[in-house]
Each structure stands twice: as C-alpha cells, then as structure tokens.
Amino acid sequence: MVRAAAAYELNIAGITPFSTVDWPDTLAATVFLQGCPWSCFYCHNPALIDPRAEGEYSWSDVVDLLCDRIGLVDGVVFSGGEPTLQRALIPAMEMVHALGFQVGLHTAGAYPGLLAQALPHVDWVGLDIKALPGDYDLVTGRQNSANAPWRSLELVLGNRLLRAGTDRPLDFEVRTTVHPGAIDDARLRELGCRLADAGVDCWAVQRFRETGARNPLPRVQAAADADAPLALDDLPVERFVSLVVR
Ligand code: SF4
C-alpha cells in the first residue's frame, strides 16, 4: 500500500510572496516546487530540474506567509519545476483551500495520473502545451514526452466540463513558449488550430526570453534564431475566445 504524502513533505525551491503575473487577474503567492522530469532547452528555471536537490523552504514557511497574507492575496499558485512530480502537492492544495485561498497550478502535464487527482482541488490551471506531438522531444530533451501533456489537456478539458456551473468551476489557459529555433510559423499556426479543435478557448503564446535560461541553449541554434520575428499575426485568433501574446 502506498503511504499518503503530507504537505510538509513538499520539496520547495522558492516562494514569491506577491505576484500579479503568475495567475491572470488574480493576486497570488507563488510556490516553486523542486524537480522536473524534462529539460526543456528554453527552461527559465534550470536549477529547479534536479528532483534530488534540497529545496530552501519548508511547508511551514508557506503557511506562515499565507497567515500574514490573508486579505492581501487571493490565491496560491503551485509552480516549478513540475509540481505534479510530488504527491504532497494534493494535501498542500487542500490546506491552502482550508486557509481560505484559491489554488492555481502551473503544469507541463508530465504526470497525468497525479494531475487527475489534483484537478478537483484546483481553481485555475496554466497548462503548457509546448509543441505539436512530433516536435515535443526536441523541446523537452526526453524521448516519448508528447503523450503525457496531450493526455493532460484532455483531463483539463474534461474536468472543466464536469465542473461547469458548480461553485468552483475550473478555469484554465494553455500556454506555449515560442522560440524560432524550435517551431516555425506554419507549425505554430497548426498547433493553435489543433488546440482549438480540442476545445481550448484560451491560449497564451509566450515569446522566449533569455533571462534565466541556459547560455548557450541546448539543442537549438539560439544565437542565429532567437531574434527572428514570428508571424504572430498569422495565428488563428478567430478560433479562440482569448489569444494573448506575451
Ligand atoms: S517543464 Fe518547465 S520546469 Fe521542466 S524543464 Fe521544461 S520549462 Fe523547465
């Protein structure tokens, strides 16, 4: 029998006490969890990839912070790394709700099994869909990495339908980071159409930024391509309720 994890077992790499950018239209504290199974070439937090690295914070640090922030922030975003790597995520989410805050989640969808368990405890999800399935491994640096995130997208869409009209409906956006060395205009448009076909109505296209990323970038020709303009005007805007470019 698998022992249930407890919130205090979370391996926490960092905390942002107050953020206006991690959850659209919501003031949040952000908790960065250590560990990720992938090594995306554009990762902005490569120090958070190693799951064996010891985080600098304890769960009691988060609880103390939240007790100081009652009335000042609306929610807590669990980010990473990949938060669904850690089973202690779910009891931590339950505790955040018990303290009176909403729960947000940043995930790359690498673990649909744990994501399915977590979704009932989540109010908003920012789900990375990094590429078309055939291009995934180039981005993540891991073989056969495409199935899990596309399965996770199905879970998020299904969960939203199930919870529509309830007290706590699931809100979400799909996010795609764009580097011209890994995706061209035609494939980005094709990705957008595929997301829309799947039922996604909120898509955020995020331009690659060098801050925090490795230099040189692994697997792509960074120097030559990073500044090449993308034809973002060709995105299938009409297929989405919200399509933002950041
Ligand atoms: S999934 Fe996110 S945290 Fe993990 S390597 Fe990719 S960008 Fe970095």
pLDDT at residue 246 in the model: 85
Cα(208) to centroid(ligand 1), Å:
13
Asked if residue 153 is part of any domain, the answer here is yes
- CATH of residue 94: 3.20.20.70
88 touches 9 (CB < 8 A): yes
Mean pLDDT score, 51-62: 95
Looking at the CA of residue 45, tell me the nearest atom of ligand 1.
8
Q: What is the pLDDT of residue 23?
A: 97
Q: Which residues contact 235 (CB under 8 A, 6 or more apart)?
A: 188, 189, 192, 205, 243, 245
More confident residue, 229 or 110: 110
224, pLDDT greater than 70:
no
The pTM assigned to this predicted structure is: 0.94
Average pLDDT over residues 116-134: 97
Full domain range(s) for residue 139: 7-245
Residues lining ligand 1, Cβ inside 6 A: 36, 38-40, 43, 45, 48-49, 80-82, 108
- Quote the number of domains for the chain: 1
If one compares 108 and 69, the residue with the highest pLDDT of the two is 108
Q: Examine the pLDDT at 113 and tell me if it is beyond 60.
A: yes
pLDDT recorded at residue 229: 63
pLDDT at 26 (0 to 100) = 96
Distance 149 CA to ligand 1 centre (A): 12
Q: Which of 38, 128, 152, 217 maximizes ligand 1 atoms within 8 Å of its Cβ, making it the mutation to test the pocket?
A: 38
Q: Tell me, yes or no, whether 1 lies in a domain.
A: no
pLDDT band at 140 (very low <50, low <70, confident <90, very high): very high
Helical residues (DSSP H) of 99-184, grouped into ranges: 112-118, 136-140, 147-163
